[in-house]
Amino acid sequence: MKAIADIGITSGYTGDELKQFVNDERMRIEKEKELDRQREAERLRKEKAKEAEIQRQEKTAVKQREMEESERRRKFELEKLKVGSETKQKEIDALAKQKEIEAKE
């Protein structure tokens, strides 16, 4: 405040004018501080929102990979069952053919 008063005196303010100048400057400084606090709060809010979005995207990517892996396993198991079924069917067909040949003899 002393520095503001000195600036006011240097600028030619005296008495009530000096008091008003000091008061105006004090109010201006307080407004600037409040604006700085608001800007900082907004910056922090945006930063947190950005971090939350990154985390959400990472979770989504993990879920997507898990779903893809699950789908690959399911397809593998289905293919394994199909191959097993085909193998059993070939065995049954071979046994039936062998019985047919034996029956003809």
Q: Where are the domains of the chain?
A: 2-104
> Which one-letter amino acid corresponds to residue 45?
R
d(CA 80, CA 7): 88
Per-position DSSP letters for 84-98, written without gaps between them: HHHHHHHHHHHHHHH
CA dihedral 22, 24, 26, 27 (to 10 degrees): 160
State the pTM of this model: 0.54
> Which one-letter amino acid corresponds to residue 52?
A
* pLDDT tens, residue by residue, 17-60: 888 988 989 999 999 999 999 999 999 999 999 999 999 999 99
